[in-house]
Amino acid sequence: MVKRRKIDSTDEFRTSTSKFREEETTALNIKVEDVSEISQIIPSQFVSTVVQVSMSELLLPEYDTSAIRNYIQGASSNLTKHQKMFLHKLKLVLLNNNPSSEAPNCERYVDDLMTFLFGISDLDGGEDLTLRPCNLNLVIGDHSFAAQADKEGRKGEELIWLLQEDKHKGTTTYKEGDIQLACAMIAASQRNYNMFKSIITPDRIIGIKVLADEVYFCCINPTVSYLEGLFGEDIPVDEELVMKKIGPFQISDPEGRRVVFTNITSLYNWAVSLC
């Protein structure tokens, strides 16, 4: 059995969070906890049981995974423009979730689908709520590590949620990208903490992880002492940082699609409530 090394200094960290493994996870005291209710991710007062009107036309209960794979553009005149766009983009995700596909390393199909959905849901409405490429760094003492998710969602200048995408359900990324996402969420909290004069606002960062057509919803609620410990390079960290996670929900399945859209509605409700 290989004895894993213990990290006592950031000098021993790998160069970016995308390369972090068990040693860095232990040093940062990050724990991933599976939960069963979306109210453990998004505050219960904002949790919706219905899909917002702008997304409801995309529920398409008659379209399961097989029907989407076999969808032919122009074959049905009964679909709206947005329904056709959604089915086409989701079909490309399904067809390209295969190492033998014509673009085996291309995540742009997933990104195209999710960008479309967040535009429809008004989480990228071009006014108060916006979505943009992510450019974050996790700061530990005098060291800075690239901690980039795929997209970051903001309300004004406040960074409130992150999107991380992977083309494959069977991704080889460490812990299926959980630690990379957790580090990006910590980095987002650090950014807000510095911007808003040592106040943690919002009290949580939401993360959405997409593996092909499977969607997870996550959150962290970092404390001031945890963030200050990182700034002071207090490694290994004594205080535990928990990333709660629920999923996967399969967006190509009608029931999974309803859950994903309902959860996105809940995320929107929470986002617009923030000052």
Beta strand segments in the chain, E: 30-34, 129-133, 137-140, 143-146, 151-155, 158-166, 205-211, 214-220, 241-250
Tokens of 14: 């790998």
User: Do you find a cis peptide bond into 236, omega within 30 degrees of 0?
Assistant: yes
Alpha carbon distances (Å) from 145 to 28, 105, 108, 152, 186 = 13, 24, 24, 17, 12
What is the residue type of 1? M
Residues 93, 105: Cα–Cα separation, whole Å: 12
Would you say 197 and 234 are in contact if contact means Cβ atoms under 8 Å apart? no
User: Residue 99: what pLDDT?
Assistant: 62
**Exposed (0-12), middle (13-18) or buried (19+): which is 206, by Cβ within 10 Å?**
buried
Q: Could you give the C-alpha distances from 230 to 28, 57, 68, 238, 253, in angstroms and in order?
A: 8, 45, 46, 11, 41
The whole-number pLDDT of residue 204 equals 98
CB 209 within 8 A of CB 216: yes
pTM for the full predicted model: 0.93
**How many whole angstroms separate alpha carbon 65 and alpha carbon 51?**
20
Is the CB of residue 190 less than 8 Å from the CB of residue 230? yes
Other C-beta atoms lying within 10 Å of the C-beta of residue 26: 15
Q: Which residues of the chain have pLDDT under 70?
A: 1-5, 98-106, 167-172
Q: How far apart are CA 153 and CA 47, in angstroms?
A: 19
